[in-house]
């Protein structure tokens, strides 16, 4: 029997598959949180999830609304202060993977969560960076998950909140950064990885039912494709069931709050 799934479910599950039992993962709220918890509840039960509020080894039963959600602290192995989290754990190089989203991204995986338009008189004032700039700089590698559309995937960022690969090439290294930066961008249509030399995002995997033309039409820059992009494996019954269960529990909990 064919499994039916939405593009958002495909994106979340594809992102979850990138994680392993050995990861110590700094988790962003929203789509990254969903992906990380699906990984924890399926193939990576021993993954260590860390949220910005200082919760270590948390195992939420419902997805948090924010980093201050009590569900995170209630289910964590321990909770440390925010200064300790950033100085000792993050800046100390103890976190293997950061999982982020953003309002906008460019071809070198730089993220904008600050403003759209002129900084002093922007068209849109966004939530800001929070801890994302530090996560992008100090985690061993970064995964990014965002829906693919021209509003979010833009040719030029008005503001770089979180450093990806900067201007491309060895820009991170020239700035003294020793971490890999973004190694994968997972969308609802495809997956990108940076070119090994130029660091420009390149489509390496295309989700079922999506064409190259659809990807090109929804991206704000001329898209590069790998020589032979693979088809993303479709979700399994277990993956879909786990994702839908946690989403249903989350909706019920938040409606009752």
57: left (phi over 0), alpha (psi -120 to 50) or beta: left
Q: What are phi and psi of 199, to 5 degrees?
A: 70, 10
Grouping H, G, I as helix, E, B as strand and the rest as coil, residue 29 is coil
> Could you give the CA distance from residue 143 to residue 53 in angstroms, rounded to a whole number?
20
Catalytic sites, residue numbers: 52
- 190 neighbors 148 (Cβ within 8 angstroms): yes
- 77 neighbors 56 (Cβ within 8 angstroms): yes
Q: Which CA distances in Å does 1 have to 7, 8, 14?
A: 19, 21, 21
- 40 neighbors 63 (Cβ within 8 angstroms): no
* Rg, Å, the chain Cα set: 18
Q: What is the chain's length?
A: 257
Q: What is the DSSP string of 35-99?
A: HHHHHHHTT-TT-EEEETTSEES---SS--SSTT-HHHHHTSSEE--HHHIIIIIITTT---EEE
79: Cβ–Cβ under 8 A, 6 or more apart, which residues? 53, 54, 55, 56, 73
């Amino acid at each position: 029997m064919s499994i039916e799934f939405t593009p958002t479910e495909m994106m979340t599950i594809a992102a979850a598959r990138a994680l392993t039992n050995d990861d110590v993962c700094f988790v962003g709220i929203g789509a990254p949180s969903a992906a990380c918890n699906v990984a924890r509840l399926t193939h990576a039960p021993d993954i260590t999830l860390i949220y910005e509020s200082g919760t270590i080894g948390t195992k939420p039963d419902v997805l948090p609304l924010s980093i201050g959600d009590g569900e995170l602290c209630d289910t964590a192995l321990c909770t440390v202060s925010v200064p300790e989290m950033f100085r000792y754990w993050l800046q100390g190089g103890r976190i293997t993977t950061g999982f982020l989203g953003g309002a906008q991204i460019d071809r070198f995986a730089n993220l904008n969560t600050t403003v759209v338009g002129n900084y002093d008189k922007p068209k849109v004032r966004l939530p800001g960076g929070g801890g994302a700039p530090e996560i992008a700089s100090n985690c061993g590698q970064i995964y990014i998950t965002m829906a693919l559309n021209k509003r979010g995937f833009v040719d030029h960022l008005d503001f770089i909140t979180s450093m990806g690969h900067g201007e491309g090439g060895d820009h991170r290294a020239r700035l003294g950064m020793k971490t890999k930066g973004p190694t994968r961008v997972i969308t609802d249509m495809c997956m990108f990885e940076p070119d090994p030399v130029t660091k420009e995002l390149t489509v390496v995997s295309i989700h079922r039912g999506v064409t190259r033309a659809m990807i090109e039409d929804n991206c704000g820059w001329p898209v590069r494709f790998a020589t032979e992009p693979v088809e993303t494996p479709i979700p399994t019954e277990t993956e879909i069931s786990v994702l839908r269960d946690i989403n249903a529990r989350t909706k019920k909990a938040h409606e009752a709050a």
